[in-house]
Amino acid sequence: MFTLLPWDGGNGQRLRTSIALLSSCSFLLCVIVVCSGCRGSSWLRMRRSSSSPFVASLKLRSLTGPEPTPRTMQWLRRHDLVEAFEDEADENLIGQIGEIVSQRETEENVYVLSELAYLAGKRAEDGNDVATAFDMYGISVANAYLYLVAEEFDLRRNPYDPRFRQACELYNGSLESAMRLAQRDGPLIPGMTCSIETRNQSIQVSIVSKGTWKPAQIERIEFTSDYNPKGLTNQVRRFGLGVPLIAVFRGDRNRPEEQFYAPGMSVAVTAFLRVVPEQIRSQNRKSTRFCVLEFHDPLVSADTLIGDGRLVPLETDLSTPLAYSLSHPMFQRTDIGTRGLINPRDSQSVQGIYMLEPYDPGKVPVLMVHGLWSSLNTWMEMFNDLRSDSEIRDNYQFWFYLYPTGQPFWTSAAQLRQDLAHARQVLDPARRAEALDEMVLVGHSMGGLLAKLQTLESRNDYWNLISDRPVTDLRASFQVRKQLEQTWFFEPNPSIRRVVTIATPHRGSDFSNGTTQWLARKLIQLPEALVENTQRLFADNAELRQSPLLRVNNSVESLSPTSPIFEVIARSPRPANVTYHNVIGLLPKDEVLGKVAARGDGVVKYESAHFDDVDSEDIVQEDHMNIHRHPRAILAVQRILLAHLGQLRADFDTRITNRSAHINNDLVD
């Protein structure tokens, strides 16, 4: 319910959590007022210089200047080129080595040309000779590519040789350096063609897009090596070939799905330079190489095919673009969750479903619903870690629900019901995207109640808590009656297949008591229209004044363990096609908070968090604030998502088998 601080696994964090939960309720609610309007720190910081694992071995930042690796120095000695290197006449040296490569194109000669061209490019760039630096980087990346993938080197190339990974770094580093120089003249846009001219060859580069997004959707490109994520514990990175980039999205009102994209959304991109094997040699013996610079979407594919069908992994970084997205002012504000609690009326403008990655109709949605006094930020640790699993990344898309948590949870559940219906109508009006009918909901604390209510059928059970008269008999305006019907009469959402609840008070929480309820009534500002409608409803229907639920004005009151709604939820029939999972926090008794708190997570007792008829129940030794960030809770969700994929595949195989049998029977008949 109270999700304030990120989990860091340290004793200091646990102590802060213990103090927060053991403080008086009045102190906590005063903190709400004090924190309102505060801003948080950025999710990432700029690096002083871009990071490269190969920098140290080449001594690029040495006072004496860049130095070749020992094996390359040995090659220079064997070819009597040490003096040529020490003369620092880089273009002449690279020209001589280029002649050697043209006469005998071995994997060693090609590698040495790549390394020394990269060093020459660095020296030229330091001397502000941009044209020469660009040419040198072009030579380096082209020859590193040949060393790594050329078929003629397959029999002699040794992937266990440290030089192989050095060649990967040369490819990635020289490509990034060349792209940085190219961007000085303007953004790199698919459809462009550029040329690199050297003494011995010409390199022609065309730029193409390999992502699901259109080039017009990209506002600008940033390099991930310029940034260091701060707010995410783990960095989801994969090693391979290419330059990880941050593509900042540009809004496009003509694409309806973009109404769900979070402000400042940025996506991961990998730039991969493909060198075409064929060369054209002119009369003056100058050769021309052709290259294609591809912008890949790692959420679509983290590999690419080259040559004879060889699969090459792409270097990818998913965490830095996510942190870049979260550096948008909307995510830096610490008052979003607070304002949603104490001022629901002002928070309704930002309520809704948010996406932090492009919509994909072929992927199953996982909708994450935060709890009381919280916001979308609370899920970023889990979101980041889950995407490190390639199977999850390839088959799921993650959505997030933001709502004002100060209102009763059944009001928020009704709004979520409407927002899900709206999203489906916008994204798939013809209902052809089968993946959208396999949705998984993950809810933390009060968010688990919202998620669970999306799968239940109300019948008359919930309305009977309000009145024994039909809703149509009430004296109320059409608008008020419609709102009552939307809240208390509902059907299961047929698109939801699994629900995961984490630290959810299925039977209420003792945190909702006389003191907190009194303070909540004083601090939480309800929408004026809601107050007026309720007062008018009571005035025109005197028998409703005693209704325990209609008199509930805020979320704190709605979570009272004495509320009759929890009994109705517990006995509501569950759809046969929905599977439930539960994650419960249980504080160790040897810790301070565990000694003084009731058996549970410090806010929700085990007896309330537990419920029957679940497919799995996981116990995590963590407090209520941080359980959904705990590695074991994230692993539990990962296991559930993988099990869901297994079930989908089994169902698909069954449908295919049944269809084949049906066709065969028809043929026999």
Residue-wise pLDDT tens digits, 304-347: 998 778 899 999 999 999 999 999 988 877 678 888 888 887 77
Residue 486: its pLDDT value, please? Answer: 95
422 with 290, same domain?
no
Q: Determine the Cα–Cα distance for residues 610 and 614; give it in Å rounded to an integer.
A: 9
* Local structure of 270: helix, strand or coil: strand
Residue 374: its pLDDT value, please? Answer: 93
pLDDT interval class at 30 (50, 70, 90) = very low
Residue 25 in any domain: the answer is: no
Residue 119: partners with Cβ closer than 8 Å, 6 or more residues away = 58, 60, 66, 67, 68, 90
Q: Which residue has the higher pLDDT, 332 or 560?
A: 560
Q: Which residue has the higher pLDDT, 196 or 150?
A: 150
CB atoms within 10 A of CB 659: 10
Residue 9: its pLDDT value, please? Answer: 43
Residue 149 in any domain: the answer is: yes
* Local structure of 262: helix, strand or coil: coil
408 with 513, same domain?
yes
Mean pLDDT of the chain: 86
pLDDT surpasses 50 at 549:
yes
Amino acid present at 184 = R
Q: Which residue has the higher pLDDT, 82 or 217?
A: 82
**Are residues 513 and 563 in contact, defined by beta-carbon separation less than 8 angstroms?**
no
Q: What are the distances in angstroms from CA 341 to CA 78, 334, 345, 402?
A: 73, 12, 10, 12
Pairing of the two strands 364-369 and 439-444? parallel
Angle at 324 between CA 318 and CA 329, to 5 degrees: 145
365 with 429, same domain?
yes
Cα Rg of the chain, angstroms = 30
Q: Determine the Cα–Cα distance for residues 383 and 562; give it in Å rounded to an integer.
A: 34
Here the tokens at position 450 are 């919202």
Whose tokens are 């969700």? That residue is: 637
DSSP secondary structure string, 182-202?
HGGGS---TT-EEEEE-SSEE
Q: Which of 213, 221, 276, 266 is nearest to 243 (CA)?
A: 221
Q: In terms of residue numbers, what domain contains 611?
A: 334-653
Q: Which residue has the higher pLDDT, 81 or 58?
A: 81
**Are residues 321 and 267 in contact, defined by beta-carbon separation less than 8 angstroms?**
yes
Dihedrals phi, psi of 614, to nearest 5 degrees:
-110, 150
Residue 184: its pLDDT value, please? Answer: 86
pLDDT surpasses 70 at 538:
yes
Q: Which of 416, 405, 450 is nearest to 555 (CA)?
A: 405
**Are residues 580 and 613 in contact, defined by beta-carbon separation less than 8 angstroms?**
yes
Q: What is this structure's pTM?
A: 0.90
pLDDT interval class at 285 (50, 70, 90) = low
pLDDT surpasses 90 at 39:
no
Pick from 37-51, 279-293, 357-371 the range whose average pLDDT is largest.
Answer: 357-371
Residue 278: its pLDDT value, please? Answer: 65
Residue 662 in any domain: the answer is: no
**Mean pLDDT computed over 634-657:** 92
Q: Determine the Cα–Cα distance for residues 171 and 243; give it in Å rounded to an integer.
A: 9
* Local structure of 357: helix, strand or coil: coil
274 with 390, same domain?
no
316 with 438, same domain?
no
pLDDT surpasses 60 at 61:
no
Pick from 117-131, 288-302, 449-463 the range whose average pLDDT is largest.
Answer: 449-463
Residue 1: its pLDDT value, please? Answer: 35
Residue 278 in any domain: the answer is: yes
Residue 486 in any domain: the answer is: yes
Q: What is the CATH number of the domain that holds 502?
A: 3.40.50.1820
pLDDT surpasses 50 at 36:
no
Here the tokens at position 236 are 């989801």
Q: Determine the Cα–Cα distance for residues 600 and 27; give it in Å rounded to an integer.
A: 22
131 with 245, same domain?
yes
347-375 confidence digits (pLDDT tens): 778 899 999 999 999 999 999 999 999 99
423 with 284, same domain?
no
Q: Determine the Cα–Cα distance for residues 86 and 612; give it in Å rounded to an integer.
A: 76
pLDDT surpasses 60 at 586:
yes
CB atoms within 10 A of CB 576: 6
**Poorest-pLDDT segment among 96-105, 270-279, 447-456:** 270-279
pLDDT surpasses 50 at 8:
no
Residue 530: its pLDDT value, please? Answer: 76
Here the tokens at position 166 are 């050095």
pLDDT surpasses 70 at 668:
no
Q: Which residue has the higher pLDDT, 441 or 39?
A: 441
Here the tokens at position 254 are 């003509």
pLDDT surpasses 50 at 95:
yes
282 with 188, same domain?
yes
273 with 368, same domain?
no
**Poorest-pLDDT segment among 24-38, 403-417, 513-527:** 24-38
Residue 463 in any domain: the answer is: yes
pLDDT surpasses 80 at 511:
yes
Residue 25: its pLDDT value, please? Answer: 43
Residue 57: its pLDDT value, please? Answer: 60
Here the tokens at position 594 are 């565990």
Residue 329: its pLDDT value, please? Answer: 87
Residue 5: its pLDDT value, please? Answer: 31
Q: Determine the Cα–Cα distance for residues 347 and 337; give it in Å rounded to an integer.
A: 9
Here the tokens at position 381 are 């640790």
Q: Determine the Cα–Cα distance for residues 56 and 64; give it in Å rounded to an integer.
A: 13
Where among 320, 346, 365 does a domain terminate? 320
366 with 313, same domain?
no
Strand partners, 357: none
pLDDT interval class at 88 (50, 70, 90) = confident
pLDDT interval class at 103 (50, 70, 90) = very high
Where among 287, 320, 353 does a domain terminate? 320
Residue 43 in any domain: the answer is: no
Dihedrals phi, psi of 210, to nearest 5 degrees:
-120, 20
pLDDT interval class at 618 (50, 70, 90) = very high
Where among 265, 291, 320 does a domain terminate? 320
Residue 326 in any domain: the answer is: no
Range 481-519 burial, b when 16+ CB lie within 10 A, else e? eebbeebbebebbebbbbbbbbbbbbbbbbbbeeebbeb
448-499 confidence digits (pLDDT tens): 999 999 999 999 999 999 999 999 999 999 999 999 999 999 999 999 999 9
Residue 15: its pLDDT value, please? Answer: 46
Residue 326: its pLDDT value, please? Answer: 94
Q: In what order do the strands lie in the sheet with 193-197?
A: 193-197, 201-210, 287-296, 266-281, 243-249, 218-223
**Poorest-pLDDT segment among 34-48, 377-391, 552-566, 641-655:** 34-48
Strand partners, 292: 206, 274
Residue 658: its pLDDT value, please? Answer: 75
pLDDT surpasses 90 at 268:
yes
Q: Determine the Cα–Cα distance for residues 408 and 465; give it in Å rounded to an integer.
A: 15
Number of domains observed in the structure of the chain? 2
Strand partners, 223: 245
511 with 561, same domain?
yes
Here the tokens at position 315 are 């270097």
465 with 509, same domain?
yes
